Structure 1
Amino acid sequence: MAVPNSQSSSLQRGVRQGRSWEDGSCPGSREHPKCWASSLGVLQCLMESRLKKRVDLELHLAGREQTVIRRDALCRLVLDEHLQHQQELRQQGKAFYVERL
């Protein structure tokens, strides 16, 4: 036979004395459904706030990363265009000045 814990014994006492969860006479305010509902609302607000902050941070970091990627792509395009111009001049027999330090 299972040993009843404190919660089930307080529940049994409340039922024996004619109390129920709906009438608000439950043992302890933490166990009241209205308290649970308000606590749940507060927790939902906290979780939504944290989620919003996390999404905002991820969007900020993604925007920064996208800027870095675009800058690298632009540098690559400029370098490719420079090499192509150098090859075209070489094919025409013209010199391409390169300053060496």
Structure 2
Amino acid sequence: MSVEKMSKDEEGLQRTLGLKKMIDRWQILHTRCLWQMMLNQRRNLYAILRMQHTMKQEVALANKQLLLVRQAALHQLFEKENRQYQKELHQMGKAFYVERL
């Protein structure tokens, strides 16, 4: 074998070894990526469950707040109607009986 052929073979061998190392690194990274995706899917499941639980709590609190707001609005409406009835009765010369303690 000539020196040129040996040097070309060595270069080819070096290239082949470099490609093999690159393929090995790619396979390791691919395995890690698959493992990470599997972990993320598990975490995502728990994250989704936590988010659903949080949303249920928020909806329950929003319903309570809505109930309080509606009760306050109804109370104001009753007070307004009561004042209006008192005004109308006063114009007719009548009044509500109010018990004083």
Q: TM-score, normalised by structure 1?
A: 0.69
Give the corresponding residue for 2:92. 92
> Cα RMSD (Å) of the superposition?
2.3
Q: Deviations over 1:50-73 (max 9, x none)?
A: 111111110000001111111111
Provide runs of 4+ in structure 1 moved above 2 Å: none
Question: In the aligned structure 2, how far is the partner of 1:59 from the partner of 1:95?
Answer: 45
How far has the Cα of 1:75 moved from its partner? 1.1
Number of corresponding residues: 82
3-state SS of 2:24 partner:
coil
How far has the Cα of 1:44 moved from its partner? 1.1
> What amino acid is aligned across from residue 42 of structure 1 in structure 2?
R
Question: Is the 8 Å Cα contact of residues 21 and 33 (structure 1) preserved in structure 2?
Answer: no
Identity of aligned residues (%): 30
Consecutive unaligned residues of structure 2, counting only runs of 5 or more, are 1-19
Consecutive unaligned residues of structure 1, counting only runs of 5 or more, are 1-13
Q: Which has the higher helix share?
A: 2
Larger radius of gyration: 2
Give the corresponding residue for 1:15. 21
Q: TM-score, normalised by structure 2?
A: 0.69
